[in-house]
Every structure is written in C-alpha cells, then in structure tokens.
C-alpha cells in the first residue's frame, strides 16, 4: 500500500463517527474510501485525537444571558423574580451567568439567587483614570462582579474595537482576577467568502497571545450574521467551527487548554433550537441575547439535559 497523507475531510468524517452515533453503513463506506484512496493511516488515531479534544466530562455547561441595553428597574426586578422562581439543574452541572446593564449590576447581584452569577457587559482595558464613560476592571472587582463580556461583535463593529484591543482588555481583566466571556465571530460576507476560520482564528490568536489564565476564559462563538437576526447557524455549522476552534487551541495553546476550555454558541439561540445545538459535542453552552429576557431562558438552561445524556 502506498504512503499518502490523510485528507482533512476524511479525518473529519471519521471524527464525526467517533463522537456521534455510529452508523455501520457510514463507517463501512468510509473504510472503503480509505482503501480506495490508499491512505496509509490509522482511523483510530483520528478518533483518539477527537476524544482528547472532546473531554466533555471536564467542561461544565455554561449559559450566559446578555441583557444588552435593555430594562428599567421594575423590568429588571421582574426578570430576576422569574429566574429566582425557576427550577433549573444544579450549579454543579451548569453555570449560569446573567449580564444586565452596568447600572443594574448591584441590584441584580443583591436580589438574584445564589447559584446564578452576574457579568458586566464590558470594561476598559487599562487602569481607571481620564476615560470618560468607561468602566474599569478595578470597579468590577470592587463591586464583587466575577465575570465580564469582552469583544462582543456589537462593540467590534459599532465602536471599532480591534482584535488587538480586545486581546489587551481580556489580558487586563484576567490579571485582576476577573473571568472573561471572550466573543469571536464572522460576518455574513466573511462566511460567504470562505474565510470563517481565518477570521475567528485571528480573533482567538489576539486573545491567546496575551491571555494568562485560560481557566478563567469562556470562548463565545457568535456568528455576526446570526445575532439578533432570527437566523441561526445550523447545528452542523456551529459544531464545525467549534471543533476547528478546539483544534486551533490544541495546536497553538496546548492540549489541556483545548480539552478544558468551554466554547459556547451565541446567535439567535432560543427555546426551540437550543436542544439540537446543545447536543453537539463541542458546544459547551450558550451566550443568549434577546431570549435571556424571557422565560425561555430557563428552557435554554435546561438544554443541559441533552448534553448529559451524551456523557
């Protein structure tokens, strides 16, 4: 048998068999493909690598609710009451973090159930000072806010935050002990041009070049074309990007970081599509926008049950 390099497409096909339900017919067809192409490799190496990348047992399901620029005091109280009264899985198996506007952070923190946490929607990338309108990471620490969302596409596009600037902010927040939900994602034009992975890899690299503690980082893949549009990436599209991101982390940061870092999906997630998305092996949870203001946010938190059935 000749020596040929395994095609990435074939390895991905074999990998999908290893992580999902095994269909004998599909496995047989791929086996024939291997011999037809005279590929000198072990399919089990692909499966082993994918199992290493997909150590879901070590990754607690994560659901974040980004309230964006919404709410009054009374509306916020109603949302918190709704969340407090809901029956959800234990914090031992799912981590829930809600992110109200900055002015409501102390209120939500004081009223919210103890098994949920709060996050700020942004912070400045330097120590406080003459930066009118900004919120410093030190202020969040002083308020006892454990999480912050950084790099959201709305800030990248509307406020021209560059990859490097986002990387600096992530690094500074981590240096002060904050935990970071770091957002990445491509536009519709970038997806249609076939540059999705190049874009999200560059965004991730800007973070990886400066991040000091990956244990405190959750990556949120949010395809820009699916945020607030009602469109949503198919489970297969989302899984493909999540898996490639995990491979990138494996090859550029380290195997342990790749296996343990939670990569969550955002982009028109709702109660109707969350279970199918959660069933994907590399989707470790969600960053929810509009639906986080509604009762269906609880359904999204409960989609963890689909993930648990796969473990």
What are the residue numbers of the active site?
Answer: 152, 222
Contact by Cβ (8 Å): 301, 98: no
Run of H or E including 122: none
Q: 178: how many CB neighbours lie within 10 A of its CB?
A: 22
Q: Which of 102, 104, 113 is nearest to 72 (CA)?
A: 104
Contact by Cβ (8 Å): 295, 95: no
Residues 6 or more apart from 248 whose CB is under 8 A from it?
201, 204
Q: 167: how many CB neighbours lie within 10 A of its CB?
A: 23
Q: Which of 173, 167, 170, 306 is nearest to 235 (CA)?
A: 306
- Token pair in block for residue 13: 């096909």
**Rg for the chain (alpha carbons), in Å?**
20
Residues 6 or more apart from 192 whose CB is under 8 A from it?
none
CA gap 265, 91 in Å, rounded: 20
Contact by Cβ (8 Å): 129, 213: no
Contact by Cβ (8 Å): 96, 116: yes
CA gap 183, 296 in Å, rounded: 23
Which of helix, strand or coil describes residue 213?
coil
Which stretches does DSSP call E strand in 60-159? Answer: 61-66, 94-99, 116-120, 147-150
Contact by Cβ (8 Å): 70, 37: no
């Amino acid at each position: 048998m000749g020596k040929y390099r395994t095609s990435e497409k074939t390895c991905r096909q074999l990998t999908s068999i290893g992580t999902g339900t095994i269909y004998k017919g599909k496995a047989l067809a791929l086996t024939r493909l291997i011999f037809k192409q005279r590929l000198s490799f072990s399919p089990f190496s692909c499966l082993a690598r994918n199992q290493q990348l997909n150590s879901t047992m070590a990754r607690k399901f994560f659901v974040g609710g980004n309230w964006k620029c919404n709410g009054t005091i009374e509306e916020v109280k109603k949302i918190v009451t709704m969340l407090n009264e809901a029956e959800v899985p234990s914090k031992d198996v799912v981590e829930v973090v809600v992110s109200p506007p900055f002015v409501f952070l102390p209120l939500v923190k004081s009223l919210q159930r103890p098994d949920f946490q709060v996050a700020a929607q942004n912070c400045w990338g330097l120590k406080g000072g003459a930066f009118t309108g900004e919120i410093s990471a030190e202020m969040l620490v002083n308020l006892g806010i454990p999480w912050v969302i950084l790099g959201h596409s709305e800030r990248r596009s509307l406020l021209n935050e560059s990859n490097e600037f986002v990387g600096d902010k992530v690094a500074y927040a981590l240096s002060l002990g904050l935990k970071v939900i770091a957002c990445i994602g491509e536009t519709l034009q970038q997806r249609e041009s076939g540059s999705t992975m190049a874009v999200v890899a560059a965004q991730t690299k800007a973070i990886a070049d400066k991040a000091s503690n990956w244990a405190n980082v959750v990556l949120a893949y949010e395809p820009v074309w699916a945020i607030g549009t009602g469109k949503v990436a198919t489970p297969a599209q989302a899984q493909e990007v999540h898996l490639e991101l995990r491979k990138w982390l494996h090859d550029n940061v380290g195997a342990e970081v790749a296996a343990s870092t939670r990569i969550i999906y955002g982009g028109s997630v709702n109660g109707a599509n969350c279970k199918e998305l959660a069933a994907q092996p590399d989707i470790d949870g969600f960053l929810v926008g509009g639906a986080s203001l509604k009762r269906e946010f609880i359904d999204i938190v409960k989609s963890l049950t689909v993930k648990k059935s796969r473990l």
